[in-house]
Amino acid sequence: MDFAACIEPLISPLAPFAGDPLEYDYVRWCQSEHDDVSRDSNTAPGPWDRSVLNPKNRVEYYGGLFQSALGRDQKCPRKPWRMDGCSALGRRFLVTPLYMESERPVKMIDVIIPCQSAQDPSIRRQLRSSDAVTATGNGALRRLGISQYVVAAVESWSLRLPYFDQIYRDISFGSSMIMETMPHNPRNAKFRFHSSLGFEDCLVASSELQDMWQLEAGAWPPLTLSIGALHLVSQLSETVVVVELPKSSGLVGRFVFKTNTRAMHRLYHELKVLLTLDPHPMILGKPRAIITTDPNAESPAGGAKVLGFIMDLVQGPTLRDALTMYQDIPLGLQLKWSVQLISALQHIMASPLQFHSDLKPDNILIDESNDERNLVLIDMEQAGNWDSFCAPEILYASRMRRLTSHELVPQEKQAAYRQLLGAIFPLPQSLPRRYLNPRHGYYLEWTSLPPNLQESAMVFAVGKLLWCIFERHSYSDQSRAELGGGSVPIESLPPQSNLEGLRELIRNCTQGSPGPETERVRITWRGSKVSAAVRDDAGAWTEVSSPRDIMLASRRFWDGQLVAMENYVMAKARWLRGSHNDDDIRLLGFASRPSLSQVLGCLENCLSKI
């Protein structure tokens, strides 16, 4: 079954509360298509009105012909754009206007397209629009039909709309281009600009931040630039772009601009962390400059507001990409990376930062500026991680907190979850949108833990990273699914490495992961496809084929996950009261994990044997 953003509640912890799958139009359509295919293979082909052979169902200039079709007339002007990224379950695309070469502004303007369920079925199938959900790497993303369609549609609109360039330059930072229609010919797609209303209310002036933080002399970066001074090179993600700075800045070359249009309070927290954290060779350095709004144009009241900051650009891939790209990763290099990771985390733990909550292959860079290929840890927002890399004490509390206020969850169930969760940490009334200078950030599931349990939760993620490094997997199976926005269970990883001590180390680090013997239903993502399998009492797995049955299997799966969540939170409450038993200790896991020092000792022992 092809994924669509609208069915996310059906394959997440909300599934038990999301109602009958057939109440969702998209599931009904998929079920109807499945039923058509499942009929006797000797019957006549499907209806002509659905066939891609029918000219009305063909996407015009499909595939690589989009751009050549737009430019086949030599007299026709071109405004080429480039696809740089995708998020939001395959609905949000990052595109760069290549034709604005001399003054390409950094606007963080994305393109929002209709949900896959709202797209004409023939368009959805031909463009494979669901594939954008899990596409990794710009090369793979740009080859997708849906990406080429979006680029062609935006290019055509930018040619048709009078004064497009001026509107694009003048519209507020973080706005969107909304694609309202998706016709078979991308040149006929209708768009509108959507300004980021309310965004400026979340911004804080640099003077106010400095007053809040009371930094040591010289800690604030000496250089402040207006956003208009930056020249966009490429967009790495919805929060990170590569830019060039004006010559007058004295900074030559390319740098990273970090912002967060959807959570500026987290960005400000990260900025404070980076400015106060002592340097470490395996942690990305301090910001080089502060980037603000134009005080004369966007924020006249209170002066220029901080939009983000400039960091050095590390020349090298993420650990995720390196594990795939490098043909040979010697055992010594794997162990060196692992030791460097522990060293960086020990430095963080001994600092006011205390913990890193987002340890995953995407947040580790490999510095290729020299032959050492050292590891560099990034992303100090202290925000969320992939579910599969979260320790159970973090994951289950996060899930339950989400369920305490979601509209799909009945009020009485919300109240029950609030009571359970209140036994392990105090619940806030709401999280503010505007930055209020919390000491350790906004991730309550982490900030409510004492330092020793924060260390244990980091060790859990370290175990997952060690598995990726030594097994040379960019992801675990579950974290690959999470790239598409899917919510997944805690995962038990079977270490295969024969190096003495490593397999046991990984198992010890990931105490609290359920064993595979507890699985009764398995939900799997393969590219854009969501599938399910169920296990009988004899242990045999049977694939579920129909879309409705896949969604029902997902509900059954998440029923079990929510029971596990409730049992875990109740065991944690007993542990906090001192009334726990041995079964609780085994279930909780965190008390049985090694410390970072013990992990380091094991790794150094392995390193001494090669």
Mean pLDDT on 89-107: 91
Mean pLDDT value across residues 476-499: 52
Tell me the per-residue pLDDT of 266-324, one tens digit each, with 9 for 90 and over: 999 999 999 999 999 999 999 999 999 986 654 445 678 999 999 999 999 999 999 98
Question: DSSP letter at 428?
Answer: P
pLDDT reading at 428 higher than 50: yes
What is the pLDDT, as a whole number, of residue 556? 94
Mean pLDDT computed over 142-171: 94
Q: What is the pLDDT of residue 60?
A: 61
* Residue 150 reports pLDDT greater than 80: yes
Q: CA–CA distance from 262 to each of 26, 159, 381, 387, 519 (Å)?
A: 28, 29, 13, 20, 36
Confidence at residue 495, expressed as pLDDT on a 0 to 100 scale: 58
Name the nearest CA neighbour of 403 among 574, 553, 566.
566
- The predicted pLDDT at position 317 comes to 94
> Residue 502 pLDDT > 60, yes or no?
yes
> In this structure, are residues 406 and 311 in contact, taking their beta carbons and an 8 Å threshold?
no
**Stretch 51-70: mean pLDDT:** 52
At residue 64, the pLDDT reads 46
Going from N- to C-terminal start, the domains of the chain cover: 56-194, 200-312, 319-608
Strand partners for 366:
375
User: What are 201-210's pLDDT values in tens digits?
Assistant: 899 999 999 9
Which region among 54-63, 102-111, 563-572 has the lowest average model confidence (pLDDT)? Answer: 54-63
pLDDT tens sequence across 76-88: 567 899 999 998 7
Among 168-182, 472-486, 559-573, name the one with the lowest average pLDDT. Answer: 472-486
pLDDT of 72 over the 80 cut: no
Q: Report the C-alpha gap between 148 and 154 in whole angstroms.
A: 10
- Residue 3: the pLDDT is 85
Residue 478 pLDDT greater than 60, yes or no? no
Q: Average pLDDT of 458-465?
A: 96
Query: Of 233 and 609, which is predicted with more confidence?
Result: 233
- For residue 31, the SS3 value is helix
CB 405 within 8 A of CB 431: no
Class of domain 200-312: alpha beta
What's residue 44's pLDDT? 52
Which pLDDT value is given to residue 419? 96
Q: Quick one: pLDDT at residue 45?
A: 56
Q: What pLDDT shows up at residue 483?
A: 44
pLDDT cut 70: percent of the chain above it: 87
What's the confidence (pLDDT) of residue 69? Answer: 42
Residue 226 · residue 257 · CB < 8 Å: no
Whether the full predicted model's pTM is greater than 0.85, yes or no, is: yes
* Mean pLDDT on 348-352: 95
**Binning pLDDT at 50, 70 and 90, where does residue 51 land?**
low
Q: Residue 608: which residues within 8 A CB-CB, separation 6 or more?
A: none
Lowest mean pLDDT among 153-162, 289-298, 431-440, 502-511: 289-298
Residue 485's pLDDT is 44
Task: For 372-398, write each residue's pLDDT tens digit.
Answer: 999 999 999 999 898 889 999 999 999
DSSP string, 463-513: HHHHHHHHHT-SS-HHHHHHTTT-------------STTHHHHHHHHTTTP
Between 41 and 176, where is the model more confident? Answer: 176
**How confident is the model at residue 183, as a pLDDT?**
95
Q: CA 56 → CA 122, 152, 312, 443, distances in Å?
A: 9, 19, 51, 51
- Cβ neighbours of residue 236 closer than 8 Å, sequence gap 6 or more: 84, 85, 242, 256
Question: Looking at residue 59, what is its pLDDT?
Answer: 67
* pLDDT band of 467, cuts 50, 70, 90: very high
Per-residue pLDDT, averaged over 542-559, amounts to 93
pLDDT band at 62 (very low <50, low <70, confident <90, very high): very low
Q: List the single range of 343-352, 502-511, 517-526 with lowest mean pLDDT.
A: 517-526
